[in-house]
Structure 1
Amino acid sequence: MSEHESIPFMEALRARACEALGSWELGAQTPQLLKYRENAVFRVTLRNGEPAALRLHRPGYRNEIALVSELSWMAALGEAGLRVPAPVPTPDGRQIVALAGNSEFGDQYADIVSWMTGSPLGQSGVLLAHSAERLAVIFRLLGAAIARMHAATDAWRPPADFRRPAWDGDGLLGGQPLWGRFWDCAGLSPEQAMRLSDLRLFLREKTDALCHLDYGLIHADLVRENVLIDGDHVGLIDFDDGGYGWRMFDIATALFKNRGEPHYELIKAALIEGYRGVRSLPDSALETLSLFMVVRSITYIGWIGERVGAPDAAKRLQRYVADALALADGLGASR
């Protein structure tokens, strides 16, 4: 058991959640912890009896401007008809609240967003349980939802102080990528580090040539857990990493963890069909899918490389490296 799974820490985390709830005048309840990864997310009850999600943001990860920007974007998407969480302001109108550091936590921010119905599309590493026919329906809906998100975003005018990270050449492959330096993290062999360094240069050359490709605000983390299925409706959650990037990065991310599915070709075709039913997706853009699959794969290396205390971190690092290098070989990026 890690220190972050100990009973005293979990009690401190719940107390921190109750502290945050005081700003919404919702203190007289016991928050239910749903997950503790980048953020701690609790199920709470609003004054009208409706459930909602309280998020305690990781200290130092996002500043106030970036968090308010995330919430304003989600609100705009909701107004455009997408099924996404909506900000729940405090009684005095604040979208987020600042929590002062204490013996357990640094200075951090908290917010509450509306509850989303539905079940996650799936879990990473576990085969999807749906029939082929149902998978086709789900991924058409998902493709259409991604397209609607991109279209609604392009039609929206962000406020002047809107700030979100950029998943561009620097954010993915620069000296300090958003999810970590994948080519020199601890645990790599000298050969792996050299191959990943070469791969970084290869990918940077390829992405630098994508000036024609559709670029704008993207979710950036459309993994199975962040896609909720509710009958014939699809909801998108966890916009924590949302920012500016190539729209093909969203499509690649939505497909990435499904590559091992027996019906992957059907899944890919359905998602593309759903997207194209709402928004243009030229063949020339789809030709970059293999490239963005590799780009997505290396982000996981950087992510786990900065989390050596995560469960099975060493094994996951080696799995992510092997996956990325195999995909790179298929792209013709081998040394």
Structure 2
Amino acid sequence: MVADLPPHFRAALDRRACQALAHWGVANQRPELLKYRENAVFSVQLADGRPAALRLHRAGYHGEDALRSELQWMAALGDGGLAVPQPVATGGGQLLVALPKEGAFTAQHADVIGWMDGEPLGESGKPLAHSPERLAQIFSTLGASMAEMHTLADRWIPPDGFSRPSWHADGLLGQQPLWGRFWDCEGLSSAQIAALSALRNDLALQLATLPTPAKDFGLIHADLVRENVLVTESGVTFIDFDDAGHGFRLFDIATALLKNRREPAYATIEAALILGYRSRRNLTDEALSWLPLFLVLRSLTYIGWFAARPELPGARERVLRYADETLALAEEQGFR
């Protein structure tokens, strides 16, 4: 999506990035724009030569308390031994800085986090490049790291004022879901609207009947897609905690699996991830039997997310495609 941005907007983003970097005393550099979605993410260099990532947060998406809480949780996971980016304070000790309204930009926040080595596990829409044997290793490690993250979250006592979104029933299926009203998005056909509305009601009933083992709920990453899992020779790293919050642990598992379901080695991928997870944390067969529900719930989120961002290239087409894909998945999983 970076390549599709208009040149004048790219230039404005670069200037905004340098404005933010002045707070870290390193404004005299040319930051490299890596990603433009919820945040504009840049590769930068700190005063001591260390690589880092600057994030310009999307105005209005998360408030100051939520952004600070994200950094606090990342720091806590790092203290617990998990390989995740760590916040970098300004010379004045701030983890988060406020940037004023200026030019094309409304008031927003910025932060800097440590650079994490590794290559993304893959890219959405493209086949995974690793062999089945390597995929088994990667997803086993991913599952174990995810389980460790959940356990560290349960042990951690958040500080006063900690605030992150909740991927609970209302956050997924309520009148104002976290990622948008997927059942009445602009551009959907009347047939899609009717089918998605009926599916929403069905899933709400299913979610209300979850047995205790499937109700494992706490802080989760919420977006462990391929691009947010970096692979190294020795393990995996989780990045992009922008959507982290309180949610069902099965939602994290479903997110890591959903976009890989058409891979030839999917059976290997799923088995390895579950085996890795169970090596660090309890996951009963009864709980796992509800994974199809969370696969469909996760698939629904993409519809509303893109509908709320019509400025992104191909957004309308993706809304229609994700609607059809989700309805097909729901039927496949026995929910239609």
TM-score normalised by the shorter chain: which range applies?
over 0.9
* TM-score, normalising length: structure 1: 0.97
What secondary structure is seen at the aligned counterpart in 1 of 2:151? helix
Corresponding residue pairs, total: 334
AA aligned opposite 2:131? S
Distance 1:211 1:27 in 2: 53
Question: Distance in 2 between the 1:2 and 1:152 partners?
Answer: 34
Are the counterparts in 2 of residues 294 and 328 from structure 1 also a CA contact under 8 Å? yes
% same residue? 57
Q: Within 5 A, what are the aligned runs for 1:24-173? A: 24-173=24-173
Please say if 1:23 is aligned against 2:18. Answer: no
- Tell me what 2:174 maps to: 174
- Partner residue, 2:317: 315
- Partner-residue secondary structure (3-state), 1:150: helix
Partner secondary structure for residue 33 of structure 1: strand
Q: CA deviation at 1:228?
A: 0.2
Is 1:165–1:244's contact at 8 Å kept on the other side of the alignment?
Answer: yes
Measure how far apart 1:231 and its partner are. Answer: 0.6
Q: Residues 24-54 of structure 1, C-alpha deviation per residue, up to 9 Å, x if partnerless?
A: 1111111111111110001111111010000
Residues 26 and 308 of structure 1, relative CA distance in 2, 3 Å threshold: same
Inter-partner Cα distance in structure 2 for 1:264 and 1:125: 15
Question: Is the 8 Å Cα contact of residues 20 and 99 (structure 2) preserved in structure 1?
Answer: yes
CA distance in 1, matches of 2:184, 2:85: 37
The amino acid across from 1:229 in the alignment is: V
DSSP 3-state at the match of 1:269? helix
Contiguous gaps of at least 5 residues in structure 1: none
Question: Which residue does 1:199 correspond to in 2?
Answer: 199
Residue 273 of structure 1 is matched in structure 2 by: 275
User: 2:211, 2:287 within 8 Å by CA — same for their partners in 1?
Assistant: no
Match among 209, 214, 217 for residue 216 of structure 2: 214
Q: Which residue of 1 aligns with 2:258?
A: 256
Alignment of 1:230-241 (within 5 A): 230-241=232-243
Q: Which amino acid aligns with 1:68?
A: R
Q: Secondary structure at the match of 1:183?
A: helix
**Cα gap change, 1:219 to 1:3, in 2 (>3 Å):** closer
Match of 1:287 in 2: 289
The equivalent of 1:332 in structure 2 is 334
> Which amino acid is the alignment partner of residue 168 of structure 2?
D
Alpha-carbon separation, structure 2, partners of 1:308 and 1:37: 12
- Using the TM superposition, give the Cα deviation of residue 313 of structure 1 relative to its aligned residue in structure 2, in angstroms: 1.9
1:296 paired residue number: 298
Using a 3 Å threshold, how does the CA distance of structure 1 residues 174 and 71 change in structure 2: closer, same or farther?
same
User: Shift of the alpha carbon at 1:2?
Assistant: 11
Contact 1:4 1:10 in 2 (8 A): no
- Deviations for 1:141-160, whole angstroms, at most 9, x for unmatched residues? 00001001001111111002
The question of whether the paired residues in 2 share the 8 Å contact of 1:138 and 1:232 is answered with: no
Q: Secondary structure, in 3 states, of the residue corresponding to 2:264?
A: coil
Distance 1:121 1:4, change over 3 A: closer
The residue type equivalent to 1:274 in the other structure is G
Amino acid at match of 2:155: A
AA matched with 1:305: A
What is the alpha-carbon distance in structure 1 between the residues aligned to residue 75 and residue 335 of structure 2? 41
2: CA distance between counterparts of 1:139 and 1:9?
38
| Rounded Cα–Cα distance in structure 2 between residues aligned with 1:327 and 1:2 | 30
1:221-258 Cα shifts (integer Å, max 9, x gaps): 00000000011210000000000000000000000000
Give the distance between the partners of 1:30 and 1:225, measured in 2 at CA: 24
Q: Using the alignment, how far apart are the partners of 1:90 and 1:211 within structure 2?
A: 46
The answer to whether the Cα contact below 8 Å between 2:2 and 2:33 also exists between their aligned partners in 1 is: no
Contact 1:141 1:232 in 2 (8 A): no
Alpha-carbon RMSD across the aligned residues, in angstroms, is: 1.4
Structure 2 unaligned runs (5+)? none
